[in-house]
Structures are given as structure tokens and as C-alpha cells.
Amino acid sequence: MISGISVSKGIVFGKALLFKNKKIIINKNHIFKNKINKEIKKFIIGRNKTIKQLKNIKNIKNKNKNKKDILDSHIMILEDYEFEKEIINLIKSKLITADYATNKIIKKQIKIIKKIENEYLKERINDIIDIGKRLIKNILNLKVNSLSSIKNKVIIVSKELTPSETAQLNLKNVLGFITEFGGITSHTSIMARALEIPAIVNTYDITNKIKNNDFLILDAINNNIYINPNLNIINLVKKKKKKYEEKIKNLQKIKNLPAITIDGYKVSIFSNICDIKDIKSIKKYGSEGIGLYRTEFLFMNRCFLPNIIEQYKSYKYVSKKMNNKLVNIRIMDIGGDKNLSYLNIPKEENPFLGWRAIRLSMDLKKILYTQLKAILLSSNNKNIRIMFPMITSIEEIKYLKYELKNIIKKLIIKKKRINKNIKMGIMIEIPSVALIIKDIIKEVDFLSIGTNDLTQYTLAVDRGNKLVSHLYNSLSPSILKLIKKIINEAHKQNKYVSMCGEFASDEKVTLLLLGIGLDEFSMNSSYIPYIKNIIRKNKFKDAVKIANLTLKKITNKEIIKCIT
Ligand code: PEP
Ligand code: MG
């Protein structure tokens, strides 16, 4: 039995699929003339293999008309005589390898399409990149592992999964995943919760212990992974699964009831979403609004920026679907562990301390303006608010307010229907703003505490680094004191405080946060019933007692004792 960090609830049984995404290394050396035919043959074999693979995938996805059409268009590109001729000519004329020639032609096609002002064609760039990668891997005889086309029901086992790889998982067949790296607040774990698939991360060297097709139990409730377990264990875990499912069923009963304590103290419970698809779970789990819409996922798994229309459509959709409920749209938070290949973000020594979130948007102004305009254009429902991530100073807030005001003015001149009084808030995730919170509050309409980053920046512990994961602790007295300070100052100025970091969905600290005075808990929707249940079963006056006692403690051991 192996443990790690359980980051997304659930228990699943299934076969292991080891996912190794080998990097493609293109051979750019010149070839001798007598090797031309060998390279051409390599291309033809790789191309035919790719067509065969795509036809197989097409047969699996035969119910999905859209995917079938896309795969047909991929096959058409590969079968195109001109495409073949161009690659073969390049091998012959430049004396280069089949993989290098194919890469060049694919890049050339992408360049041509990028110049054409046609949205449909631009959408196809992703397809071409996808085929290109598959084709080159087949030419090089590398194993093709595509997360979006997994055929059988499996549990993915991998050293690491990036947030964008996680977003590609074929959810029909991926039962759950296990990785060696990652922590509760790394974005891959956040994605797992959004997709509602069980996951355990930080498992040391599990890829050396599990082989393909091993039978696994992934018990992300009790944080256990069993490899080829015996019948006794299988039956035991089946019972645990049944019990867990019954608990969920019971919790569903309170989904439409308010988050109110026995003695009548009410708080709000909101959702964090990564994608418009997550809206489905808002109703399912009885959420009161969206406390955090991580818009950066709209910018991922593609090769060019989403334009204003595409962004507008997503924001408008969310605004409409939520009726009158509030939606905090967070400005793109790229950088750190979330990269966009098409932005050419330079490799940094310390990406989490570097060109990330609002810093990137403030430097790449066109991206910021487009996003702000798209949000404003979708704002006439009046339920949308703008939230800026990773703010470090008053100057940044003033600058962003100035920019926002200018964009609003321009849109009004153009007679656009917008909410000219749109509310603007920030995330408190850096100690520099938490320490001057009294002055910060005067500048903004609302605040949301991002404990995932506040913890990493206060304690100087990378939130995704397994070597220091034991030091990553949101229950540290310093973090609790910062949270208390933020809430106290906000309440003095009649502002309410939300928390959208993962701490807000940690059942161990619900009463503590309630007692400190947190007004709004925002989390992945599927966690709402658990937190609501705790709030509804307790008294506010007891929560205050726990908070007062806990805040006096200065060691972690003492703090844990107070909350258990
Ligand atoms: C946070 O930092 O707590 C947060 C909610 O933002 P993210 O996890 O996207 O960095
Ligand atoms: Mg953050």
C-alpha cells in the first residue's frame, strides 16, 4: 500500500496506465544523399501509422459527431498529396531527416494560417499541431500517448501531469490519476477537483513500482493506493466506497439549505470554476455564486490568444447561467506552473516569483485590455465583478483602476451596454498587501484571500515542490494571524471578506475560519456540501471560542490540538 497526498475525493478500481510524455527531439543533422530513400520511407511508414491510429480513434469516438469530423479532417491532411510531396521534396532538396522536414512543413502551414483572418481556420491550428506531434513521434518510432484518446478505463500513473495535460484527459475513460509530484494546491490538483476525478499526488517514486495493466485501487478518501490487492482488500475497500457514496447522498439533502449555524450566524458558500463546463456543478451542489473564475484555462491548450469575441462569449455565458448570482472573473493568472507556449515566456529561475499573473498582464497590455473589454461587454447583467490576482502594492491597484476607468469611458463613448459601475476587487495572496491591508481596503470593492499563494509566499515554500511539501502549511500561526488581520480590518471598514484558496474547503479548519469571521467560503463545488454540513451542525459562539484559543498559539502542534 502506498500513500501520498489525497487531493481529489473518491475511490476507483481499475488498470494502471503509465503515462510518459517523452520529449520529441528532432534530428537536425544533414543526411548523405544515399540516405534520402531511407528518410522518405521513414516518413511514409510514420504517416501510414498515424492514419491507422486516427482511424482507430475515430471508431472509438463514433458517437461524437464533432470529434469524428475533426479526426476526418486530420486524416484528410495526412492523405493530402501536396502535403506528402512538400515533405519529400524538402528531404531531397535540403538533405534533411524526415522528422525535421515534417516539422518544417507543419510550422510553415501554421504560419500561413495564422496570417489569414478567419476564425475557423485559426481554430484548426491546434489540430495541425496535434497531428504534427503525432506524426513526428511515429516517424521517430516513439510511443504516442494521447491523454484525450485513451481507449480503456484506466487509472493514469505519471511522474507529473501539467494543468494543460489534465485538462485534456478523456474523462469517459480516465477513472483517476496518481502522480509523483504535486501538492494540494498545485493547479493540476485543483483541476482534478474541478473534473471530479479522484487523485493522489506526491507519491515519491510510484512510477517505478507500478507497471502498465497492474490492477489498482485508488482510494483518495483514505489516501491509499493498492497495487494488485487480494480479494480481502478489494472487498474491504468496496465497503468503504459504499459508505462514502452513502455519505455523499445524505449530504446532497442539504444542498439547497443556507450555510447557517445552529445559533443563526450565516455565511456564504461560493464556487471556484476553471471552465464554463464547471457551471453544471454549481446547481448540483447548491452554490450561491462564483467566488473565483480562473480564466487562464480559457487561454490554455491552444496556440494563440482567445480573441475578444471568444472571451466575451464565455463570460456572458457564465453571467447568464448564474442569473443574479455574483461571478468574480479573475484576470488571467499565467506563469508559475501555468505556461502558455505561444506567449514565449522566458524560462525563469523562480517562476512563482517572476513574470506571473497581473505582472504579465500589465506588461502585455493588449492582453489585459482585451480581457477587460470582454468582461465589461458581458457585464450588463450586473452580476459580474473583476478580480485582479497577485497584487503586491497600492500602486498596482491605482494603475489598474485607472486603466479600467479609461476602458469604461471608451466603451461608453461607443454606446456599448456595460455596467459602468462594475465592482473591482483583488486577491490577497502576497504578504506585502496583507500587511498594509488597512489602506488597501480603501481602494477596492471586495477582497478574496488566496491562501494557496499566501501560504507559499509567506513561508517561502514552493506550493508544487515535493521536496518542501512538508513545510507548506496554511495552519502556520503566521498565516492565521494574517487572515485575522485582513478580516478585522475589512470588517472595520464594512467590507466583507471571501477566501478562495483551498484552505476554504479544508474541513479541519471550517470552524476556525468561521470563528475568525470569514464571510464567504469559495471552493470547488463538490466540496460545498461537506463544509455546509459542518457549519449547519455547529454554533457560531463555539467557533469563536476555537478561533480565540487557536490564535493565541504559536506552534503548529498546539494549533492542531485546538482544532481537533
Ligand atoms: C490562491 O492562490 O489561493 C488562489 C485561489 O489562486 P490560484 O490557486 O489560482 O493561484
Ligand atoms: Mg493564487
Ligand 2 centroid to Cα of residue 283, in Å, is: 25
When pLDDT is averaged across residues 246-251 and rounded to a whole number, the result is: 94
For ligand 1, say whether the CB of 501 is within 6 Å of any of its atoms: yes
In this prediction, residues 160-177 reach a mean pLDDT of 85
**Which residue, judged by its Cα, is nearest atom 4 of ligand 1?**
450
* Closest Cα to atom 8 of ligand 1: 452
Residue 538 has a CB neighbour count (10 Å cut-off) of 19
CA–CA distance, 131 with 79 (Å, rounded to integer): 12
Q: Which of 124-128, 178-182, 239-243, 292-296 has the lowest mean pLDDT?
A: 124-128
**Taking Cα atoms as reference points, which of 211, 447, 233 lies closest to residue 330?**
447
C-alpha cell at position 500:
478562495
Please name the residues in contact with 385: beta carbons below 8 A apart, sequence gap of 6 or more: 326, 327, 328, 329, 422, 423, 424, 425, 445, 446
Cα–ligand 2 centroid distance for 402 (angstroms): 23
Q: pLDDT category, 225, cuts 50, 70, 90?
A: very high
Whole-number percent of the chain with pLDDT over 70: 95
Report the mean per-residue pLDDT for the chain: 92
Q: Is the CB of 452 under 6 A from ligand 1?
A: yes
Provide the pLDDT for residue 122.
65
User: Would residue 562 show up in a list of annotated catalytic residues for this protein?
Assistant: no
To which H or E segment does residue 438 belong?
helix 437-443
Closest-lying ligand to the alpha carbon of 292? 1
**Whether 274 is catalytic:** no
Q: How far is the CA of 333 from the centre of ligand 2 (A)?
A: 8
**Quick one: pLDDT at residue 346?**
86
Residue 521 phi, psi dihedral angles, 5° rounding: -105, 125
Could you tell me if 190 and 337 are in contact, meaning their C-beta atoms sit under 8 angstroms apart? no
pLDDT at 347: 86
67-109 per-position pLDDT tens digit: 567 678 778 888 988 899 999 999 999 999 999 999 999 988 8
Ligand nearest to the CA of 270: 1
Sorting pLDDT into bands at 50, 70 and 90, what band is 453?
A: very high
What pLDDT, on the 0 to 100 scale, is given for residue 126? 66
- Write out pLDDT tens, residues 40-56: 999 999 999 999 888 87
With beta carbons less than 8 A apart as the criterion, state whether 226 and 237 touch: yes
Measure 429 CA to ligand 1 centroid, in angstroms: 8
Instruction: Check residue 23 and give its pLDDT.
Output: 73
The arithmetic mean of pLDDT across residues 227-238, rounded, is 98
Spatial distance between the Cα atoms of 187 and 8, rounded to a whole number of angstroms: 12
Look at residues 320, 272, 222 and name the one whose alpha carbon lies nearest to residue 500. 272
Dump pLDDT digits (tens) for 371-392: 999 999 999 999 999 999 999 9
User: How many Å apart are CA 230 and CA 214, to the nearest integer?
Assistant: 13
> 3-class SS at 205?
coil
Q: CA-CA distances (angstroms) from residue 352 to 127, 135, 311, 358, 452? A: 31, 34, 26, 12, 12
Q: In angstroms, what is the span from residue 544 Cα to ligand 2's centroid? A: 27
Q: Which pLDDT band, with edges at 50, 70 and 90, does 150 fall under?
A: confident
Pick the atom of ligand 1 nearest to 456's CA: 2
* Closest residue by CA, ligand 1 atom 7: 452
pLDDT tens digit string along 508-540? 999 999 999 999 999 999 999 999 999 999 999
Whether 422 shows a pLDDT value over 70: the answer reads: yes
Helix (H) and strand (E) counts in the chain: 22, 15
Pocket of ligand 1 contains residue 534 by CB under 6 Å:
no
> What are the pLDDT digits (tens) for 468-512?
989 999 999 999 999 999 999 999 999 999 999 999 999 999 999
Q: Is the pLDDT of residue 550 over 60?
A: yes
pLDDT in tens, 178-217: 999 888 888 889 889 988 999 999 998 999 999 999 999 9
Ligand 1 pocket residue status of 462, Cβ below 6 Å = no
- The predicted pLDDT at position 161 comes to 86
Answer for the pair 299, 343: CB distance below 8 angstroms, yes or no. Answer: no
Which bound ligand lies closest to the C-alpha atom of 390?
2
- Round to whole Å and give the CA distance between 490 and 480: 15
239-243, 339-343, 382-386, 407-411: least confidently modelled range: 339-343
The residue whose CA has the least distance to atom 6 of ligand 1 is 450
Ligand 1 near 336 CB (within 6 A):
no
- Residue 256 exposed, middle or buried by CB count within 10 Å (0-12, 13-18, 19+): exposed
Angle at 520 between CA 514 and CA 522, to 5 degrees: 110
296 Cβ below 6 A of ligand 1: no
Out of 30, 187, 303, 491, which one is annotated catalytic?
187
pLDDT band for 121, please (50, 70, 90 cuts): low
Q: What grid cell was written down for 229?
A: 490487492
Distances (CA, A) of 143 to 54, 205, 546: 14, 22, 55
User: Looking at residue 162, what is its pLDDT?
Assistant: 80
Mutate to test the pocket of ligand 1, among 190, 427, 433 (most ligand atoms within 8 A of CB): 427
Q: What one-character-per-residue DSSP string does 62-116 give? A: TT-HHHHHHHHHHHHHHH-HHHHHHHHHHHHHHTB-HHHHHHHHHHHHHHHHHHS
Number of CB atoms found within 10 A of residue 484's CB:
16
Does 500 contact ligand 1 (Cβ within 6 A)?
A: yes
Q: Does 448 contact ligand 1 (Cβ within 6 A)?
A: no
Q: Find out whether the beta carbon of 453 lies less than 6 Å from any atom of ligand 1.
A: yes
Ligand 1 proximity of 451 Cβ (cutoff 6 Å): yes
pLDDT tens for residues 320-351? 999 989 999 999 999 988 888 788 788 899 99
Confidence of residue 170 (pLDDT cuts 50, 70, 90): confident
Which DSSP state fits 324? T
Supply 397's cell numbers: 491597484
Verify whether ligand 1 is closer than 6 Å to residue 333 (CB atom). Answer: yes
Q: Which residues surround ligand 2, an ion (CB under 5 A)?
A: 429, 450, 453
- Predicted confidence band at 134 (pLDDT cuts at 50, 70, 90)? confident
Q: Which atom of ligand 1 is nearest to the CA of 185?
A: 8
Q: How many residues does the chain have?
A: 564
From 30, 491, 500, 562, active-site residue: 500
The pLDDT confidence band at residue 63, using thresholds 50, 70 and 90, is low
40 CA from centroid of ligand 1 (Å): 49
Mean local confidence (pLDDT), 445-466:
95
Ligand 1, residue 187: give the atom nearest the CA.
8
Ligand 2 mean position, distance from CA 13 (Å): 33
Mean pLDDT over 145-153 rounds to 78
C-alpha cell of residue 121: 481556420
CA–CA distance, 564 with 547 (Å, rounded to integer): 12
pLDDT at 558 over 80: yes
